[in-house]
């Protein structure tokens, strides 16, 4: 039996203040939920500007273990309060390694797991290989309150295995 879910994708500009960016995203999530969205997707790496246009060591200081990342910690209770699913894109640090990752938060606030971006671009305007290593999680699919959700991050879309 088919069912309909309402999905909102958030897109806005962000500065270098991580907390201000998280606060801005929470406000947008609340607006989307008030309009009936059940799955609300913030922008990729929304905690700051897209920093991968250059190689600057300072950005490594904005990476955290996924369960401790400020965006995850702060959006988890928002998901539970509003009863919405929030896939959260983060800059993740796992030991000495760094990943462009997505943490799936279900509508009850539970952390369902992490997906680490598999395909890292390297070309004009993309210095992602300086920051991220290819993911080691394989492609993920989660059974959320509102349905089954599979994820890929940005450059992953160009590879057919992402959708399989």
> Which position among 24, 52, 117, 128 bears the catalytic label?
117
pLDDT over 90 (residue 109): yes
8 Å CB contact between 19 and 50: no
* Secondary structure of residue 64 in the 3-state scheme: strand
pLDDT, average across residues 124-130: 92
Query: Does the domain at residues 7-155 carry the CATH identifier 3.60.110.10?
Result: yes
Q: Does 52 qualify as catalytic in the annotation?
A: no
Domain boundaries in the chain?
7-155
Rounded mean pLDDT of 40-69?
97
Is-catalytic flag, 44?
A: yes
Give which of 30, 2, 52 is closest to 153, Cα–Cα: 52
Angle at which helix 18-34 crosses helix 70-82, to 10 degrees, equals 20
Q: If pLDDT is split at 50, 70 and 90, which confidence band does 1 have?
A: low
In the DSSP assignment, the letter for residue 155 is: G
The string of DSSP letters for 88-126 reads EEEEEEETTEEEEEEEEE-TTS-EEEEEE------BTTB
- What is the model's pTM? 0.95
Give residue 122's pLDDT.
83
| pLDDT mean over 128-157 | 95
Mean pLDDT of the chain: 96
């Amino acid at each position: 039996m088919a069912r309909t879910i309402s999905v909102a994708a958030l897109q806005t500009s962000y500065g270098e203040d991580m907390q201000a960016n998280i606060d801005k995203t929470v406000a947008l999530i609340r607006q989307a939920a008030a309009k009936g969205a059940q799955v609300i997707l913030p922008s990729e790496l929304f905690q700051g500007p897209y920093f991968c246009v250059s190689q600057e060591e300072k950005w490594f200081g904005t990476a955290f273990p996924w369960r401790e990342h400020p965006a995850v910690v702060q959006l988890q209770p928002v998901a539970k309060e509003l009863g919405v699913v929030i896939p959260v894109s983060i800059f993740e640090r796992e030991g000495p390694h760094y990943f462009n990752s997505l943490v799936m938060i279900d509508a009850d606030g539970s952390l369902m797991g992490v997906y680490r971006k598999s395909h890292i671009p390297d070309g004009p305007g993309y210095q992602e290989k300086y920051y991220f290593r290819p993911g080691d999680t394989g492609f993920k699919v989660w059974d959320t309150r509102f349905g089954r959700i599979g994820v890929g991050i940005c450059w992953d879309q160009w590879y057919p295995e992402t959708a399989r």
